[in-house]
Structure 1
């Protein structure tokens, strides 16, 4: 097994729409997205922020995931993907969190991984088949609103990374 010092470094960069586009969509209320005033001027609607894809015979469901915090440095030893539908995560606790992704396709290698630091007001929608690490909450227990697929078929593949990658402190 590799010691943490010997693992390839995975340095997080800020979560931005263009950089994340190959993996899915960033969900955030910003001037960069379509928005307009509704409810007699009382509400600003940030419209159509993610394409939810439940896949054939699936349906979109809404859940809350309560994630235990991860400590840095953190060794990324595995990735998962959901080939039959998209999976959206929106933080409810207002804390930053980490997003680790790799392109859809064959199981990723450590050099395929991209790491993003998401603000507490930014969510993501992973496109079907995109490899990603399970939730990486930072600092405290954090809740996430999750919209994903329920339905028939195997919809979770896992891959072990050899070597692993290390997200530094």
Structure 2
């Protein structure tokens, strides 16, 4: 049984999916040249006999399974999800005389020890949610930050996330043993594993998010274009992929996994209080009105 949590009713605006807005949650993968944008953090080289421009390290693939309770190694896996359009419901608009089309969200999930990249196949670059015709197909990205772990929790569930080991005071011997050469041996002391693990070419990898539940007060929703892929950082709370429109969307999904269920994926159900639940407002049901936000009734 997944964990569950209530939340107060609130409304959150829908945003375009951009790297700047999505930065706290992961990476947006797209061609910067098509947007006329520059990504100074991305290095480029010529490839394929000069016929291609290669962007290096466009997303951060992270594997933290060495920090899991089981210590079972994670292996890279690539799956395909064929996602059908979600059912929408219609409700009266709170700020107009029209009707809203709503997408109800009842669950959030996270992958504590791995990043997870969703790459859509076959969607037009012009496919986007806000203001689009009902016949268009697009997908939503719904994410939430992580709350600090509550102190004094008496939960008997297994530790869901890598907690930092308790710090201890270092002795004089510990301090001097890190010197080069070591004063206690004839060999140079190697750097500790933590100094090199989790780094790529001197660039630190994004760290896991922490052991807490999702912070629904900071819930955010994005509408993705068809030419955008998305990487959720390790431990990022997110809704399962949500397709809106009339067509199925195929996603190639790249992540690490070790086959231990609670370490590969954790879920939390959103308990509805009264009628409805977390609902993405797709549109106001009136000509020319764009999708404007999330309505959370919990």
Matched, 1:160 2:269: yes
TM-score (norm 2): 0.51
Q: 2:62–2:115: 8 Å Cα contact kept in structure 1?
A: yes
Equivalent position SS for 1:73: strand
Query: Which of 39, 57, 64 is residue 48 of structure 1 equivalent to?
Result: 57
Conserved in 2, the CA contact under 8 Å of 1:10 and 1:165? no
Matching residue of 1:97? 139
The reply to whether residue 39 of structure 1 matches residue 39 of structure 2 is no
Partners of 2:106 and 2:12 in 1: CA distance: 12
Correspondence 1:22 to 2:128 = no
Q: Secondary structure at the match of 1:111?
A: helix
Alignment partner of 1:137 out of 235, 239, 243: 243
Out of 76, 91, 113, the position equivalent to 1:84 is 113
Deviation at 1:147, TM superposition (A): 0.4
> 1:30-55: per-residue Cα shift (whole Å, max 9, x none)?
14243332112212222211111132
Where 1:18 maps in the other structure, the secondary structure is helix
Query: 2:145·2:215 contact (CA, 8 Å) conserved in 1?
Result: no
Instruction: Spell out, residue by residue over 1:20-77, the C-alpha distance to the aligned partner (whole angstroms, 9 max, x if none).
Output: 1111111111142433321122122222111111322112111111111124511121
- Unaligned 5+ segments in structure 2 are 1-8, 34-38, 67-72, 89-100, 128-137, 147-209, 283-298
1:66 maps to 82
* Counterpart residue number, 2:256: 149
Between the aligned partners of 1:137 and 1:11, the Cα distance in structure 2 is 18
Question: Is the contact between residue 144 and residue 219 of structure 2 (CA under 8 Å) also seen in structure 1?
Answer: yes
User: Which structure shows the higher strand fraction?
Assistant: 1
- Aligned residue for 1:12? 14
Aligned-partner Cα distance in 2 for 1:109–1:53: 23
How far apart are the structure 2 equivalents of 1:148 and 1:10? 29
Deviation digits for residues 82-130 of structure 1, max 9, x if unmatched?
1121111111121531000011342225323110011111111111111
Mapped to 1, the partners of 2:48 and 2:108 lie a distance apart of 42
Could you tell me whether the CA contact under 8 Å between 1:109 and 1:162 is conserved in 2?
Answer: no
Q: What SS does the aligned partner of 1:9 have? A: strand
Q: CA–CA distance in 2 between the matches of 1:76 and 1:82? A: 18
- Aligned residues between the structures: 164
Structure with larger Rg: 2
Q: CA RMSD in A?
A: 2.0
